[in-house]
Structure 1
């Protein structure tokens, strides 16, 4: 299986959400977790291409186009990695798809289950915010293969940020397991 990993946002261009206390940036968490997922999936026999770029759908010729790169490579699945932020109090894990009812939802369900089980085994209070449909996101709308966007936790929440800072390996293993679960359906 060919897996395209897209760590969200890009250092120097758009760091994404930032923890107001520690300064932890979404782009850095996404890249660290993405590299680990790549390692685990390659060890599981998958072909993996990882690209962190702020150019989601051809907006800027300066950076590689994430959607077009995944489409041209012929990826079987697309996984975009992100951290949520809202008001400092919201927390939890959610996984986004373009539409319910297709292969993307099946991929999302596999990844989401592994991620929720893993994070809740570390912090039983972290909420499962479920699968959500989001048709306005470029990486879900402009990719030819089943695509998901994983919100690993709220980077602006004092509890979730502990997981995002200190449990990146466990998060990466969970996401990789979810992808291989999907591959074995």
Structure 2
């Protein structure tokens, strides 16, 4: 199984959401959890490619094109890692897909069950988001994992202090999907 990991945003260029109180950015958290997840997936026998880039689909030629890289590799599944942001009361984990009735929906459910079951985050469900380029411009089952709300103090502490547990949960969700699909 070839797993393409896309930690969201780009450290030093596009920080994504920020929690100024804790001094952390979405780009840095996604990078760190992405690296840990890649290690667990490699140990489980997956071939992993990780690209964190400001260029999702050709908008910044100075950096690797994320969707083109995933499509041309070609990946079997695409996982984009992010931290959600909203009002401070919002919390929990959710996984976004292009189509709710697809293999991506199955993949999303496997990942979300592992995160919420292992870390006890609020289960915000699997949601369809047609307009996200990493979901609508990739040719394999693709999901965008909103690991937690960087703007919520409880979730932010989890994103900082439990990165290894979160990475293991994401990797287990992906391997659950592989097992479920019989691949």
Q: Is the TM-score greater than 0.5?
A: yes
TM-score (norm 2): 0.97
In 1, the alpha carbon distance for the partners of 2:135 and 2:114 equals 21
Whether the 8 Å CA contact 1:112–1:178 is kept in 2: the answer is yes
Aligned to 1:164: 159
1:20 shift after superposition: 2.5
What residue ranges of structure 2 are gaps of 5+ in the alignment?
Answer: none
Distance 2:179 2:23 in 1: 39
The size of the alignment, in residue pairs, is 180
Question: What is the RMSD of the two structures over their aligned residues, measured on CA atoms?
Answer: 0.6
Equivalent residue number for residue 183 of structure 1: 178
Aligned twin of 1:56? 56
Contact map agreement 1:78 1:145 (CA 8 A) in 2:
yes
Provide the TM-score with structure 1 as the length reference.
0.96
Say whether the 8 Å CA contact 1:20–1:156 is kept in structure 2.
no
CA deviation vs aligned residue, 1:7-59 (integer Å, no higher than 9, x gap): 00001211000002112100011000000010000000000000000111111
Q: 1:123 maps to what in 2?
A: none
Quick check: 1:91–1:127 contact (8 Å CA) kept in 2? yes
* Partner residue, 2:82: 82
Counterpart for residue 148 of structure 1: 143
Q: Deviations over 1:120-147 (max 9, x none)?
A: 1xxxxx3210000000100000000000
What residue ranges of structure 1 are gaps of 5+ in the alignment? Answer: 121-125
